[in-house]
Amino acid sequence: MSLTDFRGVPVSTDNQSLVDRLEAAHWENLCFQGDAVASIDAVLAEQPDFVMGHCFKAGLLTQAMETRIYDDMVASLEAAEALAGKANDRERGHIAAVRAWVEGDFHGAVEHWESVLVEYPRDLLALQLAHLSDVLLGDTINQRDRVARVLPAWDEGAHGYGFVLGFYSFGLEECRDFSRAEEMGRRAIALNPEDAYAIHAVAHVMEMQGRQAGGINWMTSRQKDWTEGRFANHLWWHLSLFHLDLGQIDRVLEIYDRHLRSGDPSNDKYEELDATALLWRLNLMGVDVGARWKDLADKWEPSVTDTLYAFNDVHAMMTFVAEGRDRAASAVLNANERYAQQASDANVAMTREVGLPFCRALQAFAEGRYGETVDQLQPIRYRTARLGGSHAQRDIIAWTLLEAALRDGRYKFALALANERTALKPTSPQNWKLTARALEGLGDREGARRAQARADSLKLPAAA
What is the mean predicted confidence (pLDDT) over 248-252?
97
pLDDT digits (tens, 9 = 90+) for 51-95: 999 999 999 999 998 888 999 999 999 999 999 999 999 999 999
- pLDDT reported for residue 271: 77
Pair 184, 400: CB distance under 8 Å: no
Question: What's the start-to-end Cα distance of the chain, in Å?
Answer: 64
State percent of the chain over pLDDT 70. Answer: 97
State percent of the chain over pLDDT 90. Answer: 91
Tell me if the domain spanning 152-255 has CATH number 3.40.640.10.
no
- pLDDT reported for residue 353: 94
Q: Does position 200 have pLDDT exceeding 60, yes or no?
A: yes
- pLDDT reported for residue 343: 83
Q: Does position 269 have pLDDT exceeding 60, yes or no?
A: no
- pLDDT reported for residue 1: 58
What is the mean predicted confidence (pLDDT) over 196-215?
98
Q: Which helix (H) or strand (E) holds 11?
A: strand 10-11
Pair 61, 76: CB distance under 8 Å: yes
Q: Does position 218 have pLDDT exceeding 50, yes or no?
A: yes
Q: Does position 378 have pLDDT exceeding 70, yes or no?
A: yes
CA–CA separation, 88 and 414 (whole Å)? 57
Average pLDDT, the chain: 94
Long-range contacts of 322-330 (CB under 8 A, 24+ apart): 322/279, 322/280, 322/283, 322/293, 322/297, 322/366, 323/293, 323/294, 323/296, 323/297, 324/366, 325/297, 325/301, 328/297, 328/300, 328/301, 328/304, 329/363
Stated pTM of the model:
0.95
pLDDT digits (tens, 9 = 90+) for 143-163: 999 999 999 999 999 999 999
Q: Does position 267 have pLDDT exceeding 60, yes or no?
A: no
CA–CA separation, 315 and 311 (whole Å)? 7
pLDDT band with cut points at 50, 70 and 90 for residue 345: confident
- Tell me the H-state helices in 103-160: 106-119, 124-137, 140-150
Pair 7, 159: CB distance under 8 Å: yes
Pair 391, 424: CB distance under 8 Å: no
pLDDT band with cut points at 50, 70 and 90 for residue 262: low
Q: Does position 464 have pLDDT exceeding 80, yes or no?
A: no
Going from N- to C-terminal start, the domains of the chain cover: 152-255, 421-463
pLDDT digits (tens, 9 = 90+) for 313-332: 999 999 999 999 999 999 99
